[in-house]
Amino acid sequence: MFDNAKILVTGGTGSFGKKFVPMLLARYNPSRLVVLSRDEMKQWEMAPEFADDPRVRFFIGDVRDRDRLYRAFQGIDYVVHAAATKIVPTAEYNPFECVKTNIHGAMNVIDAAIDCGVKKVVALSTDKASSPVNLYGATKLASDKLFVAGNSYSGGGTKFAVVRYGNVMGSRGSVIPFFLSRQGSGSLPITDARMTRFMISLEEGVELVWHAFEDMVGGEIYVKKVPSMLVTDIAATIDADATHQIIGVRPGEKLHEQMIGEEDAPNTYEYEEHYKILPVIHNWSDDPSRIKDGKRVPNGFKYTSDKNDHWMTKDVLGAWVQRYLENPTR
């Protein structure tokens, strides 16, 4: 569906964008792929990789700037919204800035997409939007609700959907690059020995976005089935000789990640490789065109990293870390 299409990714110089752009160009042949971000240095560092590809354009802009988005979205067919303020402690100590990017920015993306005639938008979300306990999660829950409601707001024009991730392996600010930065120091800080995290690769994240674009009718939240790991096992894989220093849970941090809460169970359907949370508005959660071949999950269902049926082994993570070190996405 992306052949000869015009595609834009917000926050395109972040970890997701740096994986999304080359993967998209390798599989499809878009007529234009616009990388929008507010950091000129990151654009300057990323641009040489695509210097000989006339399909790739770099566009300085901030999702907080509504007028700039209107200019950027002109003629665009599909938008991936990856821009966010996402570091939990940063959001806790800079709440106004987090709201401006994650909520006001989402509103600007929705308005610009509708008014500029964008066909479909997929927004990236987080496990922290499910039963949020921190400001980042609360802003992303609000953002998710805005994108779901955008399907009513657009009056049947632009379609919006959301993909929800847990811990993205190797992404900026995540646990694996942090532990790698401390490798050989003799000690790795652990917030709590009981802590677990979902483990999804950037490649899997990109493929979930592609699936959302192909499958969406509008208003769906897609959650991929992924394995979990104890944070202590992640640390032991990175540096088997390091001791673990228990430092306590950080402000706004959860012991376990949750991507689907019990309150979402009545509107959640299971598929072979993912779950889909359908919106309650307009009875869309009972819409056959959205449900397709899904099976409704039982009442009381939750999808959390500590109660997962699928666990990643140290050997599997170790092999992934070796590949990451050979070709990291920063």
CA separation for the pair 187, 250 (Å, rounded): 18
Catalytic residues: 128
Phi, psi of 86 (to 5 degrees): -125, -10
Distances (CA, A) of 19 to 119, 171, 288, 318: 23, 10, 33, 20
Distances (CA, A) of 51 to 11, 43, 55, 104, 135: 19, 12, 10, 33, 39
Q: Residue 80 burial by CB count (10 A; 0-12/13-18/19+): exposed, middle or buried?
A: buried
Do residues 38 and 60 touch, judged by C-beta distance below 8 A?
A: yes
Q: Residue 70 burial by CB count (10 A; 0-12/13-18/19+): exposed, middle or buried?
A: middle
Q: Is 173 left (phi over 0), alpha (psi -120 to 50) or beta?
A: left
